[in-house]
Structure 1
């Protein structure tokens, strides 16, 4: 069945993944004569609710800190037990229990309208308090895992250092065998899992938590494709010391994740050079996550298309193989165009660069091979042109000549839906359309050599001596995988780090 199980780690990751699941929910069709291009069995799991009704819920394991889930209930109405039917509780204590409850958080009007079955109004950034405020889907009770050791946005003990994440994972795994408890039930119900999709932040303690989790998954599934979307929060308004900490966290997270995952794609909102048609409020996680979700959902769309004559699905492992040409290139850059710019028939890369690694103040040092691509995976979602068969031409992929760039281009007429849960960040003239063209490009490029060199030089002064050597060597090895005959001898400053 080509199932994909999704792992969501951290608050920003859950913001992005909520947009992702809302989009997947919008692909469902209910008329007998309609058939979706998307195979829902890949990301959704069938089940039976407490009342015997059929359920269709995400194949996802969602982790977040105390207070991050907002008014979202762990047990949704599909799995509610009728009052007075808790036999297990009655067998433990025959008397009348005394229940002490904290007052639950109230839902926003958007969620109340969804529960009432009426069309909700358009959301504003000021309405959003938690990622669950704009969620349009139910989750299985086993999907939601709240970690009570840390509290969201705590000023006393913030969850912000890489080492805190690794220590938390080790303690939970030792005490509860967390991976077996939370992860295994979703994998065991898959017939033929094609891979694992991981949403995680890289620049805080969740990077350490994710690194340890990925290591456990790799031990459990040594040959399974693991695709990581590595997210980074905007740093424009962050103090200098916090920026340094986030940069160090990102370096350590990339070093560990690239050693375990099949492919890692770092994503972040650019400090500048954002196209005029895109307006993102960097202070709103709802806004930032919407932009990143557009990119991740479009880039991975081929992995969940239905097997029929109208589309050419591409498995997660095939996507990673296209980019990892040498077998050591597990890091890739992401670019995106949205709106009219995405529909232009151009060989130029998309205009918006989402691969933000390290500080951009000094710019990424360029060399003779910085634009050299080893593998490129492009995805275009645009309306069909009846005048020409542009789809067949765009999807025409020839066997590459040894040494040339491996290129895979895919096109679909399924545009990106602009739902009522999605912020108004695309200021293009859509003429009443409820969807928008998008083009993404993921590439393993020579510029990663210089990004790793810059990252090493920026973080090495702030890393402890016992960790510095391993980190610097790890980033050097990661960058070396993207060197070729044009760049391998072009830099002489490696020994200075």
Structure 2
């Protein structure tokens, strides 16, 4: 086993992570359920790669994500930063009074659990009571919470990412930036996050928590990090990544840089600040990871990826579920069990570790690879697998070029839970043959493509949002067209087939060129309007030139003839 340490930095990253860990929890439950689809019982995923075994102070065994989550103070809602398994630290009573003047005391009321969290608590209380009574316990309470009421509650009332989290967390996992509360208006660019990380003992405390998870691993594979990159959390992640590079120089990092839809700027100054932040953030983050994948369309609801879905762009609970589904899929090869003497390729094939993925996508010696993420949600291949498996993949990475021919393109694709007709699942070999045939008939063929396949679909847990269109069936199959505009909930859709792809190609060039062009225009050219703003962020001229050179190298790797940043440009 090669362990993975997961890191989530920022509010939206934690929304995505909450869905991701719900998927894992659902997989664990279905694997032990006698009534579950057989595909969930033999999924061939090594859950120990991302989970850790431990125990509470009372000696009770725990199984929790190997996770470090970073967010604002107050962003955990009704959940304690100590998690739900280990209890609170005993408070120290202060009897010494050193102030004789008037004292005004203000207390914030604890956030109440919503119906979903209440139902989890009641279920755990019942389980504990049954165990303690030798299975003879009877429930004296009639306060049953209906699933349909939970679905309605979540659709209308998710405020915190913990509101829909069904997972127990280790007491080292949830880190709040003390003194930084939610909705801090000025926490809106890279430099603010950099300064917050460096203030007081925050950096040391965060590093220590990461060290806790890494040092208990036997053969750590690497770090998968998700960062909310649109504001100061990019700076927090950038400083953290620099420390990781210093302390664990050989540890690969796969970075998913996510951004919520619908972010708008209302004036020229905000546009200038956003443009410079995007350039600085991407340059700094990409410098400290093996692979960076930008995620986040300006409008997810109107994208091709949402063809069968009913998404509200302003609803973080909705949009993060889509990105989490794709994140789950492309990261499956990292925790697939390798085939051994007692295993066959009938259920899954194509495991990779982080170094292998980075190496495969590097092509001809590319470093600090930028990849795009494409997904089919759901990947309903019923009918003709060959013609559909590639056409249904649509980008979740913004500012990409479509239909770009790149003879040096490389990719890693994952297909899991594919249906070939009705509710019959395609075998691993059938999917492999279909994808191979599709590429033989494609106009543009990548230089190298790796395929990972599993028969296990994406499970849809109860706290998943009601975002499926009326044409999606219980197992993700396509139903006859319907005029209904109502969305289907996780009570109606239990699993879906998925396809996702990481691709290193020239299609990412517009994304990179936009950031480089804006840096030159607003920060490097003589008399640039943003030079003073960058200086106020702590970036001197030489620092900005270095940022530009990093972006220029990323562009020239994909397009050697671009010549986008010359010495004359930066004078």
Q: Work out whether the TM-score is over 0.5.
A: yes
Matched, 1:410 2:452: yes
Bigger shift: residues 180-189 or 122-131: 122-131
Matched, 1:456 2:516: yes
Matched, 1:288 2:319: yes
Q: What residue number does 2:489 align with? A: none
Change (3 A) 1:149 1:2: same
TM-score under structure 1 normalisation?
0.85
Cα distance in 2 for residues equivalent to 1:212 and 1:369: 35
Match of 2:278 among 250, 259, 282: 250
SS of structure 1 residue aligned to 2:194? helix
Q: What residue number does 2:348 align with? A: 311
Shift of 1:238: 4.0
Match of 2:375 among 336, 342, 362: 336
Gaps of 5+ in 1: 358-363, 398-402
Cα distance in 1 for residues equivalent to 2:27 and 2:248: 30
SS of structure 1 residue aligned to 2:412? strand
> Quick check: 1:384–1:391 contact (8 Å CA) kept in 2?
no
TM-score under structure 2 normalisation?
0.75
Change (3 A) 1:258 1:387: closer
Shift of 1:133: 0.1
Change (3 A) 1:23 1:373: farther
Q: What residue number does 2:465 align with? A: 423
> Quick check: 2:348–2:452 contact (8 Å CA) kept in 1?
no
Matched, 1:10 2:10: yes
The Cα offsets for residues 350-386 of structure 1, whole Å up to 9 and x where unpaired, read as 44211114xxxxxx678x9664453111111133657
Q: What residue number does 1:185 align with? A: 212
SS of structure 1 residue aligned to 2:172? helix
Change (3 A) 1:251 1:237: closer
Matched, 1:202 2:242: no
> Quick check: 1:50–1:79 contact (8 Å CA) kept in 2?
yes
- Structure 1 or 2, whichever has the larger Rg, is 2
Bigger shift: residues 276-285 or 340-349: 340-349
Cα distance in 2 for residues equivalent to 1:318 and 1:349: 26
Shift of 1:170: 2.0
Shift of 1:233: 2.1
Match of 2:74 among 62, 67, 72: 67
Cα distance in 2 for residues equivalent to 1:297 and 1:409: 15
Cα distance in 2 for residues equivalent to 1:303 and 1:234: 28
Shift of 1:454: 2.3
Cα distance in 1 for residues equivalent to 2:286 and 2:203: 27
Aligned length: 469
Change (3 A) 1:89 1:395: farther
Match of 1:154 among 184, 194, 197: 184
> Quick check: 1:50–1:78 contact (8 Å CA) kept in 2?
no
Match of 1:106 among 101, 109, 112: 112
SS of structure 1 residue aligned to 2:243? helix
> Quick check: 1:200–1:207 contact (8 Å CA) kept in 2?
yes
Q: What residue number does 1:378 align with? A: 413
> Quick check: 1:280–1:425 contact (8 Å CA) kept in 2?
yes
Bigger shift: residues 209-218 or 32-41: 32-41
Cα distance in 1 for residues equivalent to 2:8 and 2:335: 18
> Quick check: 2:175–2:206 contact (8 Å CA) kept in 1?
no
Matched, 1:143 2:173: yes
Shift of 1:103: 2.5
Cα distance in 1 for residues equivalent to 2:110 and 2:426: 57
